[in-house]
Structure 1
C-alpha cells in the first residue's frame, strides 16, 4: 500500500522558491507588496504542490481607512467612488467610517481611534474634508500610519500630505466668466474661513475682481459652510441688500442651489435677474433648473490619487509631491447670462 504523501508546508515552498516564509504568506494573503515575478514563481509552486492553507476562508487583504465628518453629500460620494475604484484596482479594501468631531478629551479620542485602525490592520488613512486636531496628527505619527487628506476642513500642517484641485484658478475662472458677461456687482458665498480650499477660491475671486477694477464691498463676502442651507441663508441675506448683487459665485454646487432657491422665493429669475456660478460639478449641477454653470473638480480622480498616494507612503516609497492639485475646468451651462441693467 503506498505511503501517504507528506503534507507540503510553507517552509517547503519558500525553500524551493528561494524566498522567505513571510513572502509566501504574503502571496497567499493577496498582499500587494510582492513583485510580480516573485508572486508568479511562488504561485506556480503552490499550484504544483497542491498547497491548501489551513483556513483559506480567512484571507487577509490590505485595507485603508477612509473617513469623513458630518453628513455625506454629492461631493463626498463622488470622491468616495474614486477611492473605492482605485482600491479595487490595487486589490485593497477601503473601509468607510465617520470620524467623530472634537470632544473634551481630544487626546484620549485620538489614541482610541488610532488603536482601532491598527487593530483593524489599516495600512493608511484618507480623510475627506475632515477637521483633524493636533492630537489626531500626533497619534497617527506615533503609529507610523500614513495620512492623506482631501480638501481638509482646516488648513493642514505643511508636512501633511493633501490632494485637492486648483481652487485659486477655479475661483478666478468663475469670476472672470461673470465679469465677461458684464457683471460688476458680484458676491462670494463660500465655506468656512478655516478651510484651505475656500480661502483659495475666495482669493481667486478677489484677484479677478481686482484685475477688472471691480470693487468688492465687505458685505458681499459670506463664509459659512458648503451646504445647501448655507446657500439659502447667505443668498437670502445678499438678495435682501439695498444694493443686491447681480451675480453670486458660490463655493460649492450645494450652496449655489441654495442661492437659487433664495432667489426664487423672492420672485427673482435665474439667470435673468440673478446669475449664479457654482463649484464642484456634482450631479446636482446637471440636474438643477436651470442647469448650473460651475467649476468642475475632478472629484473621482482626486479620490484615486489619494488612494495611490496613501499606498505609496505605506510602502515607504517616495511621492512626487506632498501637496497635489488637479486641474479645474469651467463648465458653462444656463445659470449665468449677460448682465442688463434694470
Structure 2
C-alpha cells in the first residue's frame, strides 16, 4: 500500500513539528513563518524557510483556509497599460466572486520588502504579476504554501517556474514596420522600450526583420532607447527630426511614446501624417482619441488579463497543470496617422 509503480514509497512531506525540531524552534514559530507574521528574526526565518524547501513541505491550503482573493502586483499601476490589465483581471474575478488586492511595484519592478509577508497573512488563491518581478526567495516562500503565480507581459525572459501570458510582439512590430514600408517609407526610425523587457527586444527584432526582408539597411542612428513613456517619444523624436537626414516615419514601441512623437512633430512645425507617419503599439483607448487617430498594433491586453485570472483559479485546484508561455495574437489597426512619404 502507498508504493508507486516502481515499488518505491513516494517521498514524504515534513510535518510542522519535524521542521520545528530540525530548526530548534517551537511549532508556533514555524507557523508564524508560514503565515508571514512578525516576531521572528531574519536568521531564524531564513533557516526555517530553507528547511521548508529542503524537506519538501508544501502545504495545500483548504478551501476554508484560503481567502477568495487574488493578489495583483503591477508595475506602473497608474499607467494606461496597468489600468487596462487590472480592469481585465477584475472582470473575471468578479464573475467568480473573488476579490482583489492590488499593489504597485517599485521602480525596479520588485515589490516592497514586506509585500510577501502580507500575501502570506492573507493566504490568497493566487498571484498575478503585471510586468513585475519577484526575487527567487519570495517565489520559494510562495511555492511552499502552494500559492500559484501567473505573469502578464513578464519583465525579462519568462520564468520557467511560473506560467506567463504575453502577446506576439515580434509579429506585431513586423506588421507595423511592413505597413510603413508598403506605403513607400524607407527612412523608418524606432523608439524602443527597456532592453531588459522581452516585449521590447521582440519589437525591435520584428522591426529589424521587416527592414531586412525589404532590403532596407538598418540604420543605427534610427534606433532610439526608451521606457515606453511619452517623454521618450518627445525627446527622441525631436532629436531624430532635427537631424540632417530625418526619418519620414517613426515606429513608437508604445502608444504613449507615439503621443510624445506627435508633440515633437507639432513643436517643429511638422504635420502627421503629411510630413511624418507615426505608428504606435498597444492600441490603448487614447490611440483612437489622438489627433489624428493613431495607427497602432493592438495588444489583446484585456484577453491576456482574463486568461491569467482564469489560469490562477485553475492552478489552485490543479497545480500539476503544465503551462509555460501562452502568446495571444497581435494585429495592426490602421487609422489616420500614416500615409505615403512626401516625394
Place the TM-score, normalised by the shorter chain, in its bin: 0.7 to 0.9
Q: Which residue of 1 aligns with 2:166?
A: 164
Q: 1:62 aligns with which of 50, 68, 80?
A: 68
- Partners of 2:245 and 2:305 lie apart in 1 by 41
Q: Which residue of 2 aligns with 1:305?
A: 307
Q: 1:268 aligns with which of 244, 252, 270?
A: 270
Query: Would you say 1:87 and 2:87 are equivalent positions?
Result: no
**Structure 1 stretch displaced more, 294-303 or 126-135:** 126-135
Q: Which residue of 2 aligns with 1:280?
A: 282
Q: Which residue of 1 aligns with 2:224?
A: 222
Structure 2 residue matching 1:122: 3-state secondary structure: coil
Query: Would you say 1:126 and 2:100 are equivalent positions?
Result: no
Structure 1 pair 306–317 and aligned structure 2 pair: CA distance change class (3 A): same
- Partners of 2:115 and 2:208 lie apart in 1 by 40
TM-score for both structures, normalised by structure 2: 0.77
Runs (5+) with no aligned partner, structure 2: 1-61
Say whether the 8 Å CA contact 2:279–2:295 is kept in structure 1.
yes
Tell me the CA shift for residue 101 of structure 1: 4.4
- Partners of 2:209 and 2:131 lie apart in 1 by 25
Runs (5+) with no aligned partner, structure 1: 1-32, 35-58
Q: Which residue of 2 aligns with 1:257?
A: 259
Q: Which residue of 2 aligns with 1:77?
A: 83
Q: Which residue of 2 aligns with 1:144?
A: 146
Q: Which residue of 2 aligns with 1:23?
A: none
Count of paired positions: 281
Equivalent positions of 1:78-117 (< 5 A) are 78-102=84-108, 110=113, 112-117=114-119
Structure 1 pair 235–68 and aligned structure 2 pair: CA distance change class (3 A): same
Structure 1 residue matching 2:191: 3-state secondary structure: strand
TM-score for both structures, normalised by structure 1: 0.77
- Partners of 2:138 and 2:108 lie apart in 1 by 10
Tell me the CA shift for residue 71 of structure 1: 4.7
Tell me the CA shift for residue 314 of structure 1: 1.8
CA RMSD of the aligned region, Å?
A: 2.2
- Partners of 1:133 and 1:243 lie apart in 2 by 45
Q: Which residue of 1 aligns with 2:29?
A: none
Structure 1 residue matching 2:341: 3-state secondary structure: coil
Tell me the CA shift for residue 201 of structure 1: 0.9
Q: Which residue of 1 aligns with 2:203?
A: 201
Say whether the 8 Å CA contact 2:89–2:306 is kept in structure 1.
yes
Q: Which residue of 2 aligns with 1:16?
A: none
Tell me the CA shift for residue 238 of structure 1: 1.6
Tell me the CA shift for residue 325 of structure 1: 0.7
- Partners of 1:135 and 1:242 lie apart in 2 by 51
User: Radius of gyration: which is bigger?
Assistant: 1
- Partners of 2:324 and 2:263 lie apart in 1 by 39
Say whether the 8 Å CA contact 1:166–1:328 is kept in structure 2.
yes
Say whether the 8 Å CA contact 1:275–1:336 is kept in structure 2.
yes
Tell me the CA shift for residue 185 of structure 1: 0.8
Structure 1 pair 136–269 and aligned structure 2 pair: CA distance change class (3 A): farther
Q: 1:324 aligns with which of 323, 326, 329?
A: 326
- Partners of 2:161 and 2:214 lie apart in 1 by 36
Tell me the CA shift for residue 228 of structure 1: 0.8
